[in-house]
Amino acid sequence: MTIVTRFAPSPTGTLHVGNIRTALHNWLWAKKTGGRFLLRIDDTDAARSEERFADAIRADLAWLGLHPDGEERQSARFGRYEEVFRDLVGSGRLYPAYETPEELELRRKVLLGRGLPPVYERSALHLSEADRAALEAEGRRPHWRFRLDHAPIEWNDLIRGPQRFDAATMSDPVVRRADGSWLYLLPSVIDDVDMGITHVVRGEDHVSNTALQLQMFEAMGAAAPAFAHEALLTGAEGKLSKRLGATGVAEFREAGIEPEALVALLARLGTSDPVEPIVDATVLAETFDFARFGRAPARFDEKELAQLNARIIHHLPFDRVAAALPQGMSAAEWEAIRPNLSRLAEAGDWWRVLHEEVTAPIDAGDGEYLASAARLAAALDWSGDPWAQLTAALKAETGRSGKALFLPLRRALTGLDHGPDMHALLPLLGRERTLARLSRT
């Protein structure tokens, strides 16, 4: 069996961090098993769906490296939904109901007031044809409900384990509104059947939806996919904040977060595996396992993401980052400076250190020392390791060691007290620039 997963966002906004995690885990499972990852644009809500959001979703997935193997749009499948709708009406699994929202809310309050669960009482099933005709003559149009079989609903969730719902305690779900528009539940089932979806990975807030949908698969005479319901994300201090919950790719990019860092964090978040600076997502796919997921909420920490981002940057090859670096920066320069970066934008600061004038704070008493350094640097063999040669010669001549030996040189050459390994940096500065900076005093 070929594994087929899907990511099904609605184009009513951009992807946020929870959406990204869902898409990633579906992609990882498909990649691990040699299967297919599909994108389904759930655009049945014509009033709220916008093409610009569909385009943004595709662009965000591409930035993350999550390239779908195919795409479907629900708005192109209304004919198929009508076909299944007629079949389910004919088999008695869909029925019309005429209650107004106000009437349903009143019934709900009455049941709660009696200490009873607010379950729909199926009043619509007792209407005669004459009753329905009279209601429609009043101008009422029916919404449509799926009639549940009042039997236990059971499945083995790939993350949560054995699940059981009593359908008798659940309301028959509304699947179609009075204006003819569709709600989420039934079209999603029809799509999963037609697209050959074998696994659905989504948040645990969909568990009760799954119970309802399993009977819809059965009513269509189709096998249901396997389900994996993940614990939801929380923030570092508990509940995921509204701001963080809405944080999307644009905000991460603006903050200097690389896609590899976001993928590396979200791939392992909520599992027993350690979060590591893994650049290659296929390596993450190899270890992806639903058995490693826990039931506790998954903690998303922006500070952890920032730290991981720095570690990821330290592993990024030159070809991956060249387009984002200052024009003219070489591979050797990138390899020298990347251990000191937390964001790619900081490469510009080190470009200026390498190629522009720097202000060097020189302590009193170091002028003569730096003059000696300039004299010794002029005689070095620059084809070898000039930093090792220079510091060895200065130590022998001046008796300095440790901080007193190294810090004045770093300050004079870079204008800073810290930075990349000088063994790598000095050859990049070159002989002439090094002599000029050491001789300024």
For residue 53, the SS3 value is helix
Rounded Cα distance between 226 and 159, Å, is 11
**Non-local CB neighbours of 249 within 8 Å, separated by 6+ positions:** 14, 15, 20, 60, 63, 64
CA distances from 390 to 90, 221, 363, 374, 405 (A): 90, 80, 20, 9, 10
CB 363 within 8 A of CB 409: no
Nearest to 201 by CA among 348, 354, 389, 29: 29
CB 26 within 8 A of CB 189: no
CB 2 within 8 A of CB 69: no
Structure-block tokens of residue 183: 């709600």
Q: How would DSSP label each residue in 47-84?
A: TT--HHHHHHHHHHHHHHT---SEEEEGGG-HHHHHHH
Where helices occur in 138-206 by DSSP H, the ranges are 185-194
242 is in an annotated binding site: yes
Burial of 282 (0-12, 13-18, 19+ CB in 10 A): exposed
Structure-block tokens of residue 267: 């791939």
- Bridging pattern class, strands 94-97 and 143-146: antiparallel
Instruction: Summarize the annotated binding site for ATP as residue ranges.
Output: 242
Q: Which residues participate in the annotated binding site?
A: 242
